[in-house]
C-alpha cells in the first residue's frame, strides 16, 4: 500500500485546491448589512428572467451561514477557498465619491480571518457579475469606459487596503466574455441589454458587447497597475484575471472547420487573453468586426499588456466547431456535440451547453500554456447532473455523473502536469454548494454539496468525497488531512446534513487576530499552532461536521 502511494504522480506541495462560489449566488441578504442593490437584484426579480421565476434574495443564506460553510470546507480538507466580494456590499452606491460600508467591510474581514484561522487560503474575486445598480443607473456601467474604470479602480483599492494584508491571491474579473456577451449581447444576464426587442427594450448587440469588454479589460489592467505600484511590495500578493473558454475541436479535418475551431477560440478566449498576455486583439476579431471593435491607445496598451500574474482558467466542456453561421459571439462558427457519425461527444449535463469530454480539458490546458506561457490557475470547473433538482435527496447525493466528470478532469490535470509539462498551480471545483445559478434560477445544480433550499441544510455528495480524496492523495505533503471517505461516515448512506452545532474552531474578529495569521496560511504554508488546529482536532472537526453534532 505504501509503495503504491509513493509511486503515484504528485502535484507540488504548494498546489492550491478547493471549491469556489460567488457572492450573489450564495449570500442572499440583499438588503441587509448596508448592502446596496446590484444589477442582479431587480433583474432576477423580473418575471421571465430566471427559469423558475426565483431570485437571489435568499440564495443559500451564506451571509448568515458562512461559518457553517467554512466548517464544511474544513470537513473536505481543502487548502483554499475561492469566493467573490460583493461590490455593492462594500460600496453600496459603487462610485469613487460614495461612502464605504463598514458593515460590509466587517463581514468580509470576519470571513477572511476565519478562513485563515482554519488554515484555508482565501482566493478572492473582486468582481463576479454583480455591478452596483447605481452605476448602471448613472452612466450605463461597463458601457462608459472613463467612469467605470475610475470607479472600479477605486473599489479595488478599497479592497486592497482593507483585506490585502491577509489576501495574497486576487482575481480582478470573473469571465469577461459572460459579462459582455450575456449582459450586453444576448441579454440573458443582467443588465439584460440586447437588440432582441422580445428580450429587452434597449441595447445594441452589434456594438455594446465589444464596448463593455473593452471597458472590462481596461478596468482590470488599471486595477492591477494600482496593486503593483501601491500594494504589492508591502503585501506580497499575486493578481490576475480569470477567463471562461471551452476547448474548440474541428468538426472534422477539413481546412475550413480547422479554421473555424481557431476562430471560436479567438473570440471565446483570445478576445481578452490576447490583449492581456500578447498585447492586442486577435487579428481575426479585427477582421470580423472592423471599426466596431474598440482600439487601445498606446498608453492603455502599455498598461494592458502583461497585466496578469497568471492565467485564470474557467472551463466546463468542449465544442465541435463547423464553419458557417452569423453568430459573432462564437466567431461565426456553429457549435455542436454531435460527431459526423451521429454519436455524442459525451454524457449530457442538465444544461444544454455542457457535455462531459475530459480529453478537451487536457487539450485546453496545453493550448493555453503553449500560447500564453503563463502559469495556470483552474479557477472554475464542474458539472450539473441532469434532472438532479427533481431527484430525491438520496438519489442526488449519489451523483455518479459528476464523480465521473471529476475523475476525467483530474486525470487530465495530472497528465498535463506530469506528461506535458504544463505549469498548473491551482484547481477549484465549481461549486462548493448548489446555489442560485443565474438565469437558471435554482433548477440547475452544480454543487458538490446538496442544499435543501427550504431548510438551507447542506448534505455532502459523493463528488465532494471524490474530489477531496483525489487531491489529498495527489498533492505532496497533504498527509495532515484525512480523506472524507475514510474518516467520515458515508453521507449518502446516512443523509446527515451539515448543520447543528458548529465545529470547535472559532471566528476571528479583531485586528490582533489578523496580525497573527496574515503570514503563512495566506501563502499555503503551515500556520502557527496557536491559530491552526492540530491534526487530531481537525479529525474531530470533520466527524462533528458530517454528523451534525
Contact 275, 247 (CB under 8 A): no
DSSP string, 402-453: HHHHHHHHHHHHHHHHHTT---EEEEEEE-SS----GGGTTSS---SEEEET
Residue linked to cell 505533503:
477
Length of the chain: 549
Active site residue 380: yes
DSSP state letter for 202: S
How far is it, in rounded angstroms, from Cα 401 to Cα 113? 36
Q: Select from 163, 341, 172 the least CA-distant residue to 252.
A: 341
Q: Select from 40, 109, 149, 139 the least CA-distant residue to 513.
A: 109
From the candidates 117, 380, 388, 437, give the one annotated as an active-site residue: 380
How far is it, in rounded angstroms, from Cα 83 to Cα 87? 13
Q: Is the torsion defined by CA of 226, 232, 234, 235 positive or negative?
A: positive
Q: Select from 266, 238, 179, 244 the least CA-distant residue to 381.
A: 244
DSSP string, 288-351: HHGGGS----HHHHHHHTT--SSEEEE---EEEEEE--S-GGGTSEEEESB-TTS-BSS-B-SS
How far is it, in rounded angstroms, from Cα 328 to Cα 270? 14
142-146: list long-range contacts, CB under 8 Å, 24+ apart. Answer: 142/179, 142/180, 142/183, 142/184, 142/211, 142/212, 142/215, 142/216, 143/184, 143/208, 143/211, 143/212, 143/215, 144/215, 145/211, 145/214, 145/215, 145/218
Please give the positions annotated as active site: 380
Amino acid at each position: 500500500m505504501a509503495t503504491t502511494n509513493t509511486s503515484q504522480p504528485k502535484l507540488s506541495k504548494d498546489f492550491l485546491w478547493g471549491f469556489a462560489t460567488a457572492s450573489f449566488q450564495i449570500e442572499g441578504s440583499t438588503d441587509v448589512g448596508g448592502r446596496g442593490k446590484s444589477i442582479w437584484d431587480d433583474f432576477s426579480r423580473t418575471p421571465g428572467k430566471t427559469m423558475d421565476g426565483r431570485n437571489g434574495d435568499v440564495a443559500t443564506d451564506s451571509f448568515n451561514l458562512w461559518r457553517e460553510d467554512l466548517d464544511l470546507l474544513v470537513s473536505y480538507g481543502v487548502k483554499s477557498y475561492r469566493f467573490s466580494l460583493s461590490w455593492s456590499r462594500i460600496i453600496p452606491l459603487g462610485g469613487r465619491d460614495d461612502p464605504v460600508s463598514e458593515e460590509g467591510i466587517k463581514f468580509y474581514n470576519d470571513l477572511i480571518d476565519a478562513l485563515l484561522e482554519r488554515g484555508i487560503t482565501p482566493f478572492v474575486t473582486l468582481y463576479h457579475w454583480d455591478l452596483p445598480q447605481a452605476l448602471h443607473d448613472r452612466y450605463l456601467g461597463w458601457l462608459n469606459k472613463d467612469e467605470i474604470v475610475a470607479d472600479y479602480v477605486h473599489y479595488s483599492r478599497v479592497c486592497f487596503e482593507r483585506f490585502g494584508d491577509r489576501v495574497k491571491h486576487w482575481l480582478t474579473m470573473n469571465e469577461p466574455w459572460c459579462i459582455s456577451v450575456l449582459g450586453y449581447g444576448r441579454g440573458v444576464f443582467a443588465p439584460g441589454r440586447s437588440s432582441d426587442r422580445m428580450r429587452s427594450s434597449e441595447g445594441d448587440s452589434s456594438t455594446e458587447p465589444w464596448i463593455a469588454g473593452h471597458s472590462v479589460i481596461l478596468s482590470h489592467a488599471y486595477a492591477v497597475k494600482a496593486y503593483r505600484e501601491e500594494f504589492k511590495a508591502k503585501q506580497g500578493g499575486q493578481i490576475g484575471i480569470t477567463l471562461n473558454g471551452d476547448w474548440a475541436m474541428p468538426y472534422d479535418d477539413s481546412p475550413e472547420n480547422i479554421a473555424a475551431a481557431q476562430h471560436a477560440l479567438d473570440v471565446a478566449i483570445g478576445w481578452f487573453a490576447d490583449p492581456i498576455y500578447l498585447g492586442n486583439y486577435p487579428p481575426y476579431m479585427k477582421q470580423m468586426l472592423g471599426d466596431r471593435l474598440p482600439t487601445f491607445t498606446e498608453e492603455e496598451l502599455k498598461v494592458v499588456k502583461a497585466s496578469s500574474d497568471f492565467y485564470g482558467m474557467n472551463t466546463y466542456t468542449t465544442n465541435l466547431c463547423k464553419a458557417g453561421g452569423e453568430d459573432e459571439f462564437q466567431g461565426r462558427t456553429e457549435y455542436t456535440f454531435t460527431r459526423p457519425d451521429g454519436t455524442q461527444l459525451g454524457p449530457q449535463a442538465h444544461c444544454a451547453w455542457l457535455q462531459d469530454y475530459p480529453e478537451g480539458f487536457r487539450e485546453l490546458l496545453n493550448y493555453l500554456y503553449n500560447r500564453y506561457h503563463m502559469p495556470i490557475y483552474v479557477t472554475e470547473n464542474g458539472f450539473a447532473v441532469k434532472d438532479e433538482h427533481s431527484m430525491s435527496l438520496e438519489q442526488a447525493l449519489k451523483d455518479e455523473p459528476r464523480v465521473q466528470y471529476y475523475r476525467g478532469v483530474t486525470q487530465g490535470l495530472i497528465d498535463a502536469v506530469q506528461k506535458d509539462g504544463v505549469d498548473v498551480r491551482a484547481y477549484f471545483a465549481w461549486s462548493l454548494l448548489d446555489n442560485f445559478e443565474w438565469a437558471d434560477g435554482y433548477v440547475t445544480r452544480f454543487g458538490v454539496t446538496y442544499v435543501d433550499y427550504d431548510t438551507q441544510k447542506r448534505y455532502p455528495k459523493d463528488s465532494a468525497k471524490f474530489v477531496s480524496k483525489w487531491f489529498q492523495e495527489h498533492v505532496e505533503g497533504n498527509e495532515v488531512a484525512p480523506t472524507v471517505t475514510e474518516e467520515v461516515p458515508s453521507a449518502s448512506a446516512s443523509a446527515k446534513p451539515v448543520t447543528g452545532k458548529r465545529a470547535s474552531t472559532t471566528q476571528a474578529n479583531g485586528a490582533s487576530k489578523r496580525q497573527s495569521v496574515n503570514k503563512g496560511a495566506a501563502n499555503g504554508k503551515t500556520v502557527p499552532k496557536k491559530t491552526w488546529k492540530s491534526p487530531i482536532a481537525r479529525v474531530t472537526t470533520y466527524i462533528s461536521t458530517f454528523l451534525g453534532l
